[in-house]
A and B are shown apart, each in its own frame.
Chain A
Amino acid sequence: MAMTRENLINIILAVLLLAAPLAANAFGQPFYVTLATRIVILALAATGLNLALGLGGLVSFGHAAFFGIGGYAAGILATHGFSGDPLLFGFSGTNQMLVIWLVAMVVAGLVGLLIGAISLRTSGVYFIMITLAFAQMVYYFAISWPAYGGEDGLSILVRNQFPGVNTMRPLGFFLICYAVLMAVLGLFVLIRGSRFGSALQAARQNEVRVATVGIAPFRIRLTAFAISAAITGLAGALFADLNRFVSPSMLSWHMSGELIVLIILGGAGRLFGPLAGATLFVIIEYVLGGLTERWQFFLGLILLGTVLFARGGLLGLFAGKAKHG
């Protein structure tokens, strides 16, 4: 891989994101570690969406559904693990992150497969709206289903376990999330460079041409959508552990909107777009939120400015026009 300007910026970003929490921890400011963890997890969720949206051109306005499903998978498994009540086939939950991640990804991926199978029959605005509608369906289900807290949500009293790491310490949990994000970014690079990734990007640019060379765009997109859902589900499970709490607000359409915002803020389709976007978003939220109760007003202005005047997002500003696509 040649050292392009974008790669250089990516590396700087990755190093900074690791160094800042280490420094904060050393100076006894654990809250900034928590803030960095939030950035990393949101970036992970948006990276999942970036696979569908950035590479495949599938503007999903319902990825909060997968984020929330991942979160609930973690919450439900941990609750049963804590109480010992059997969940399914005598399996009574667990507090092991690795198992929880697997379940979260499988469940979110399967739901993604189901939603994708119907939604991908449509395109354009219809696709945006039908994904939104499916997410609303899951949202209302979560609110009105009483077993796991309904609108009150579900508390995880003790953060789940990871072999060899004290997850209750902010830094330990941050390092786990950071490693997961880096692994998923690696996977993103692999997918993007693979034949599957090329076909996915080609289907975005010219559906007819792809179909004529004998590749079915539907199946490629469906696969991408399911993988994308699984990654966002994994992020949801981590988010649940970060907050030690899951609630339907993880499933709300604002969350779906925020995930898209992260990608666009950073730069759509770019490897580090979601990370750059999440960093910017959390910093804006934290700094503006500290300055004024009206921070959402200014967040709106910033977003609007980005869409209208800085189309490549943050990375576009610094690294020039994207090469892909």
Chain B
Amino acid sequence: MTVALALEQLLNGLQLGVMLFLMAAGLTLIFGVMGLINLAHGSLYMVGAFACATVAAATGSFWIGLVASLACAAAAGAIIELLVIRRLYDRDHLDQVLATFALILIFSEGTRWLFGSFPLYLDIPPLLQGAVALPGGAQYPVYRLAIIAAGALVAFGLYLLIGKTRLGMRIRAGESDREMIGALGVDIRTLYTVVFALGAALAGLAGAMVGALQSVQVGMGEPVLILAFVVIVIGGIGSIKGALLGALLVGVVDTMGRLLLPQLFGLFVPPSQAGMIGAAAASMLIYVMMALILAVKPRGLFPAAHM
């Protein structure tokens, strides 16, 4: 394996990790503050992608689409929070799993109702088309670099938001003691809606950015959702830092596994079989990693303070 290939794969892993972080940050924030487990987070990712594709097709601008994806996902998040989610805060996790499972069905079938069964078209904006040269001679897509940068920006923004602003102070207060912030005179109901909408907007942003790389279709959120759960469980549920490190770990391990495992098996069995077995092993790799981590640290790498 050349240095160029290794570098390229590392960047790929990083880019996947950044995407997962955008999903996982919302999930873990919602869990940390409200104690809610939200399976419908993948649906908000889908909403973001569909909003971006639709608006971009209508206006001809990816950037307006991107703004629309943030707005639509945040709005969808706020609406389901007001109608459904807020009735679930004092329920057990079982009810939350079930209600948000029901939301997935409603969102998926509803989206198909509105947009039909065929995938939508969403292209990368002209500004970010093409590839740039990496040290070592390889070419790397500009758009993927932009995703990495956007993810880093969001991570930094979240750090500032939570560490330095009044809203962040309330979020931190909510994470450590839910009764307390009520006593401080904070309007918890509004805070919860805002946090949920924020998480939804992050998911929508991820959906829109990935939508330009993949196909915008119903059900696109589910595989990402499960990976994002793996991320927050590995990182420690409720911890943004854990989500960031967990996401990068999962991204890099998954990408490297898909590259290296078939080669590893290639040392023992014929190439065509090695490809199959290696691919099978690679698809299980992150789950194995998660089981191993939880066997040693049952509450993840960076357990949040409460729970």
Would A130 and B233 count as touching, CB distance under 8 A?
Answer: yes
Give min CB distance, B18 to chain A, whole Å.
Answer: 21
Nearest-CB distance from B209 to chain A (Å)?
24
Q: Which of A108-126 contact B (CB under 8 A)?
A: 118-119, 121-122, 124-126
Chain A residues, Cβ within 8 Å of B108: 296
Among A22-30, A95-103, A260-268, which stretch is in contact with chain B? A260-268
Pairwise interchain contact A297-B109, C-beta atoms closer than 8 A? yes
Contact of A124 among B93, B95, B279, B280 (CB under 8 A): B93
Q: Is the CB of A128 within 8 A of B284?
A: no
Contact of B276 among A61, A144, A268 (CB under 8 A): A144
- Residues on the B chain within 8 Å of A132, using CB: 226, 229
CA distance in complex: A264, B102 (Å): 12
How far, in angstroms, from A136 to B112 measured CA to CA in the complex?
26
Residue A196 at the chain B interface, CB threshold 8 Å: no
CA distance A294 to B291 in the complex (A): 37
Q: At the interface, yes or no: B74 with Cβ under 8 Å from chain A?
A: no
The dominant DSSP class at the A interface is helix
B31 x A304 contact (CB < 8 A): no
Size of chain B's interface in residues, with CB distance under 8 A? 44
A222 interface residue per 8 A CB criterion: no
Neighbour of B102 across the interface among A53, A61, A301, CB < 8 A:
A301
Q: How far is the CB of A61 from chain B (nearest CB, A)?
A: 7
Report Cα–Cα, A125/B31, bound state, in Å: 10
Of chain B, the residue at the smallest CB distance from A129 is B233
CB distance from B26 to the nearest CB of A (A): 15
Q: Are A140 and B233 in contact (CB-based, < 8 A)?
A: no
Contact A133 B98 (CB under 8 A): no
Of B7-15, B48-56, B292-300, the segment with at least 4 beta carbons within 8 Å of chain A is B292-300
Which B92-125 residues have a C-beta within 8 angstroms of A? 93-95, 97-99, 101-106, 108-110, 112-113
Alpha-carbon gap, A253 to B229, bound state (A): 13
Closest Cβ–Cβ distance, residue A288 to chain B (whole Å): 11
Q: A118-B294, A128-B93, A297-B105 are in contact. Are A136 and B226 (CB under 8 A)?
A: yes
Q: How far is the CB of A93 from chain B (nearest CB, A)?
A: 23
- Counting CB contacts under 8 A, is B237 at the interface? yes
User: Contacts A59-B94, A144-B279, A303-B105 hold; do A297 and B298 have CB atoms under 8 A apart?
Assistant: no
In the A-B complex, the 3 residue pairs with the smallest Cβ-Cβ separation, listed nearest first, are A300-B105, A144-B280, A303-B102
21 pairs of residues in contact across A and B, judged by CB atoms under 8 Å: A59-B94, A124-B93, A125-B93, A126-B299, A126-B300, A128-B37, A128-B93, A137-B287, A141-B280, A145-B280, A253-B226, A260-B98, A296-B109, A297-B105, A297-B110, A300-B104, A303-B102, A303-B105, A307-B91, A307-B102, A308-B87
Chain B residues proximal to chain A, CB less than 8 Å: 31, 37, 84, 87-88, 91, 93-95, 97-99, 101-106, 108-110, 112-113, 226, 229-230, 232-233, 237, 276, 279-280, 283-284, 287-288, 290-291, 294-295, 298-300, 307
Query: What would 15 more interface pairs be, CB under 8 Å, given A264-B98, A297-B110?
Result: A59-B93, A129-B233, A130-B294, A133-B291, A137-B287, A144-B279, A144-B283, A260-B97, A268-B94, A300-B102, A303-B105, A304-B84, A304-B99, A304-B102, A307-B98
